[in-house]
């Protein structure tokens, strides 16, 4: 998302009863099969330091933690340029609680929990909750695989009923496939088998109109593709 008016997530100094509100807006533009997809974002965030105390998590016990309550309200308008779809509106509301403390002069998130609600014209209403805690941190990088978009092709794209996915250098025939919508919600997850030309016929007849994302996994390798269902 390219923010013409960036979102301010933190304002320092942070103390008990600190409060601030910020408005933000941006545009994300992508191209799939010659079709341009623009997503316009407008939203606001309100954060208040509403408490303090001690946090105990598997990493240890942390005293004098500040609790920050943040509320975000976001509206995304997705427009498919060149295809007569009506704009898809998505409303995203999230409330998160973060428990922060100082370590060597740096604010560290010791524990966080987020509740969110997403309403979409096409996807209905979904509810989510996520939580996590600060761990010891990354000490090294074992491996990293580059993702080369030239290794995967999808055609036709846009697709109405079926499209063919080709993984040009997949070793073996069996992979795990995951399909997600524009908001990242998983639609389908299954094991697939490629044909002798490393191709798979993907049935998109039951998908809703719009942009979708496909992920294919085989061992520690991944391929990513996006396609439009019309």
Chain segment 170-222, per-residue pLDDT in tens: 776 689 999 988 767 788 999 999 888 889 999 999 998 888 889 998 887 88
Q: Do residues 107 and 9 both lie within one domain?
A: yes
Q: Is the model's pLDDT at 137 over the cut of 50?
A: no
| Overall average pLDDT of the 61-78 stretch | 93
Q: Do residues 128 and 153 both lie within one domain?
A: no
Burial 24-63 (b: 16+ CB within 10 A, else e): bbbeeeeebeebebebbbebebebbbeeeeebeeeeeebe
Q: Do residues 6 and 108 both lie within one domain?
A: yes
Q: Do residues 99 and 60 both lie within one domain?
A: yes
User: Where is the domain boundary, 86, 102, 133?
Assistant: 133
- What is the distance between the alpha carbons of residues 211 and 3, in angstroms, rounded to a whole number? 21
Q: Do residues 118 and 171 both lie within one domain?
A: no
User: Where is the domain boundary, 71, 105, 133?
Assistant: 133
143 within domain boundaries: no
Confidence (pLDDT) at 122: 66
CA nearest neighbour of 66 among 113, 18, 116, 137: 18
Chain segment 14-51, per-residue pLDDT in tens: 889 999 999 999 999 988 767 888 999 999 999 999 99
| Overall average pLDDT of the 100-120 stretch | 85
Containing domain of residue 14, as a range? Answer: 2-133
What pTM was estimated for this model as a whole?
Answer: 0.63
| Overall average pLDDT of the 163-175 stretch | 83
User: Where is the domain boundary, 102, 133, 164?
Assistant: 133
């Amino acid at each position: 998302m390219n923010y013409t008016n960036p979102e301010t997530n933190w304002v320092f100094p942070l103390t008990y009863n600190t409060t601030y509100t910020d408005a933000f807006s941006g545009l994300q533009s992508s191209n799939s099969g010659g079709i341009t997809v623009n997503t316009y974002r407008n939203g606001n965030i309100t954060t208040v330091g509403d408490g303090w105390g001690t946090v105990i998590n598997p990493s240890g016990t942390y005293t004098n933690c500040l609790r920050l309550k943040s509320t975000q309200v976001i509206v995304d308008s997705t427009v498919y340029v060149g295809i007569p779809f009506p704009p898809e509106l998505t409303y995203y509301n999230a409330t998160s609680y973060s428990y922060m403390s100082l370590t060597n002069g740096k604010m560290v998130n010791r524990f966080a929990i987020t509740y969110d609600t997403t309403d979409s014209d096409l996807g209905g209403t979904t509810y989510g909750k996520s939580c996590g805690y600060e761990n010891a941190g990354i000490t090294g990088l074992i491996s990293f695989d580059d993702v080369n978009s030239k290794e995967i092709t999808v055609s036709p794209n846009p697709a109405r009923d079926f499209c063919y996915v080709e993984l040009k250098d997949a070793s073996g025939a069996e992979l795990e496939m995951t399909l997600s919508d524009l908001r990242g919600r998983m639609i389908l997850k299954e094991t697939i088998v490629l044909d002798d030309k490393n191709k798979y016929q993907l049935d998109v007849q039951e998908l809703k109109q719009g942009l979708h994302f496909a992920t294919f996994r085989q061992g520690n390798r991944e391929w990513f593709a996006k396609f439009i269902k019309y």
